[in-house]
Chains A and B, each alone.
Chain A
Amino acid sequence: MAPVLTFFGVFAVLPMVLVVYLSFTDWDGFGFPSLSGGGNWSRALQDPEVGRSLVLTLVFMVLGWVVQTPIAMMIGVWAAGRQRNRAVLSSIFFLPVLLSTAAIALLWSAVLDGNFGLTQQLPFLDRFSFLGDQSLVIYTVAWVLTWQYVPFHTLLYQSAARGIPVSIYEAATIDGAGRYKQFFRITLPLLRYTLITSTVLMLVGSVTTFDTILLLTNGGPGTSTRIAPLYMYITGFGAFEFGYASAIAVILLVLGAGLSLAVTRLTGFRKMSSQQEGS
């Protein structure tokens, strides 16, 4: 246990303690942080940008979950089949997993560019400014994030679906259950824990990752896509207000930890038991 605890202490607990400490200081990167009491916290409570960016984070979180989960599950279950054509198609479909975030962001900004992008050469699509329209851009970003992350979650569902014993389906077929009944009565309940894992990853991911948005829109136009983690980054490494950025980081830390606890608790994930035969 001790080596694990050492690693956990140095790489997980210590940074968290430090960020909480920093949130009570003023620090512009020079010299040592000076204590500022609750200054950063009262500012965070009054800063409309904090509330706005948190709401936006939640919008992306919900939008991401609602769109990505069904797609990832359907493709995952489909790809779990052993047919050769499925193997070929799914390996093509998993390509985004192999691309770096920077490559994905640059690719899509080239495709969607309002002046010289691919979409400007196509009929109908050329009337939209995908990255420039302040309301449309939210859906554009959600689309790119879906494209980026669905393959990963698909992998989760695929491997889980492959773990379901064929004998259950055979028994169901003998009992006269059709395809849809089999999906909703067998596959879906047995994928329950994968669904929870995938959900926790998506929820926590949306309060911590901002790299795609940073490179695709840089939070713009204006602040239309400036989600809370990106606001934290801009405050810390653009404005060099490390104390205030740490206060935002603590809010995100609490939010992320709370969400994953809530999901695991509400779904009974902690009382995890195998639902499969023979184990």
Chain B
Amino acid sequence: MSPRRLTKVAVSATTLALLGSMAACGSDNTAGGSGGGEGGGTADVWALQDTTLNPIEEASIQRYNDGDGPGSVKLSTFGNDPYKQRLRTAINSPQAPDVFFNWGGGSLKEYVDAGKIEDLTPILDADPALRDAFLPSVLAGAEIDGKQYGLPMRGVQPVLMYGNKEVLTANGIDGMPATWDELLADVATLKAAGLTTPIALAGSQSWTELMWAEYLLDRVAGPEVFQAIRDGEGQGWNDPAVLEAMTMLKQLIDAGAFGTANDFSATEYDAGGTTQLLANGDAAFHLMGSWEFTNQKGTNPDFVSAGNLLYAPFPAVEGGAGDPSNLVGNVSNFYSVTSASPNKQAALEYVKTQLNNPDYVSELIAAGDVMPIAGAREQLAATEDGDYLTTVYDLTENASNFQLSWDQDLSADEATKMLTELSNLFLGVQTPEGFVAAMAG
């Protein structure tokens, strides 16, 4: 072979290899691409990998495929961390999902603003029974500019305050604090008794710190202040209530409620750090999402079965404008339909018929999910952890407002900045005034 010819071969081989790898990237999700909009295609549903949930989702898809709805549906699952990146790149491509898992709120709004998401309002208008099937405070989590862009597909996960009953009783504290002042008093009592970290905080993951800011601002001023920040209206971060809430938070930090920065700043939640601190009695309180109960039950079953794990809503702030029934947290996860889906008929029909399917709901309840389905209370009460699950259900049903976690509700760039500034506030290298200035600037 002459050198020139060899070059040609090499170049074409390279090109082929590149094309091949591109095609390979796409092949795992191209399922029903050829099906067209006639309802004959296979709609691709994207969800997170989860050993408990995936079989339930598969069963739900099987039920749809066994029925006589148009087309068919298949499930693709992805790991949590790469999911958002993958979705964002795929949504522009022919490999985009037809139905996809999301957190609602501002992160979904970015997709809505880019014109990628199908408006589900007409479906709900045509079928009021479907709208009434879900709890209103949860349905609101995927409502953007008055239109519904997703339907809840799993349980609610509000943030609650957890406590260690033994530690509290040993220090003469009777139950969980109902007000902010009671919390401050409890912290002072526990500090005086020699407990270094009255409140467990997973400071290496600043979304755990965010929960404090979310609840404090809500209790001080109600949900409207954050909604204005999110929507870019009014004074935004410059609203005096933000500074007030951050100053209250600073007082709690300075009182040593979480221990010193060296204590909490490297503590993790994912690795089970704060869960263990609470169960061991190294901390008396822990603010965390409702999944904390499942985690405690998994790692410290004796602690839970002895009734030592207390739970309560976040304390009220006396004189604050916020309704103490308000919740923050992961409202739910939602399924949304992409507007460019070639299999839209199957996608819409799946979302419409399967998410409030009694089998789907009861399987998720059995897996510990508090389903935001009207009338699920009896089913929840009948389970092993009925007391806890019905408490979460009642709190959700009675909540005047259920605010999605800020880091999910703001755009990704603002959320990233906020988490950095907040973790600096907890470390004492940022002041409440500096936080406001940095976020408003």
Q: Are B412 and A3 in contact (CB under 8 A)?
A: no
The answer to whether B178 has its CB under 8 Å from any CB of chain A is no
Interface size, B (range): 35 or more
Closest to B197 in A: A115
Could you say which of A3, A113, A129, A134 contacts B11, with CB atoms under 8 Å apart? A3
Of the stretches B67-75, B87-95, B153-161, B391-399, the one at the interface is B87-95
Q: Are A2 and B10 in contact (CB under 8 A)?
A: yes
Measured in the bound complex, the distance between the Cα atoms of B81 and A237 in whole Å is 10
Q: In the assembled complex, which residues on chain B have CB atoms less than 8 Å from the CB atom of A10? A: 14, 18
Which of A10, A129, A134 has its CB near the most chain B CB atoms (within 10 A)? A129
Q: In the assembled complex, which residues on chain A have CB atoms less than 8 Å from the CB atom of B427? A: 134, 221-222
Chain B residues 273 to 328 lying within 8 A of chain A, measured CB to CB, are 273, 276-277, 282
Chain A residues 30 to 48 lying within 8 A of chain B, measured CB to CB, are 30-31
The answer to whether A257 has its CB under 8 Å from any CB of chain B is no
Assuming the A-B contacts A30-B91, A133-B262, are A115 and B423 also in contact, with contact meaning beta carbons closer than 8 angstroms in the complex?
no
Q: Are B261 and A241 in contact (CB under 8 A)?
A: no
Q: Are A131 and B412 in contact (CB under 8 A)?
A: no
Q: Are B273 and A113 in contact (CB under 8 A)?
A: yes
CB distance from A255 to the nearest CB of B (A): 23
CB distance from B90 to the nearest CB of A (A): 10
Measured in the bound complex, the distance between the Cα atoms of B261 and A113 in whole Å is 14
Closest to A219 in B: B420
CB distance from B78 to the nearest CB of A (A): 15
Q: Are A218 and B10 in contact (CB under 8 A)?
A: no
Closest to A242 in B: B88
Could you say which of A114, A130, A133, A239 contacts B416, with CB atoms under 8 Å apart? A239
Q: In the assembled complex, which residues on chain A have CB atoms less than 8 Å from the CB atom of B417? A: 239
The answer to whether A57 has its CB under 8 Å from any CB of chain B is no
The answer to whether B85 has its CB under 8 Å from any CB of chain A is yes
Q: Are A221 and B423 in contact (CB under 8 A)?
A: yes
Could you say which of B89, B116, B261, B267 contacts A115, with CB atoms under 8 Å apart? B267
The answer to whether B170 has its CB under 8 Å from any CB of chain A is no
Assuming the A-B contacts A6-B10, A221-B427, are A132 and B263 also in contact, with contact meaning beta carbons closer than 8 angstroms in the complex?
yes
Q: Are A217 and B266 in contact (CB under 8 A)?
A: yes
Which residues of A line the B interface, CB within 8 A? Answer: 2-3, 6-7, 10, 28-31, 109, 113-116, 129-134, 137, 217-218, 220-223, 234-235, 237-241
Q: Can you sample 17 A-B contacts with CB below 8 Å? A: A3-B6, A3-B7, A30-B91, A31-B114, A109-B271, A114-B263, A115-B267, A129-B262, A131-B204, A132-B266, A133-B262, A134-B427, A220-B265, A222-B265, A222-B420, A237-B85, A240-B88
* 11 new A-B contacts at CB < 8 Å, known A3-B10, A30-B92, A220-B266: A10-B18, A28-B413, A30-B111, A116-B273, A129-B266, A132-B264, A132-B266, A133-B262, A217-B204, A220-B423, A221-B427
What 8 A-B pairs come out closest when comparing CB atoms? A221-B265, A132-B266, A131-B266, A3-B10, A129-B262, A239-B416, A239-B413, A29-B88
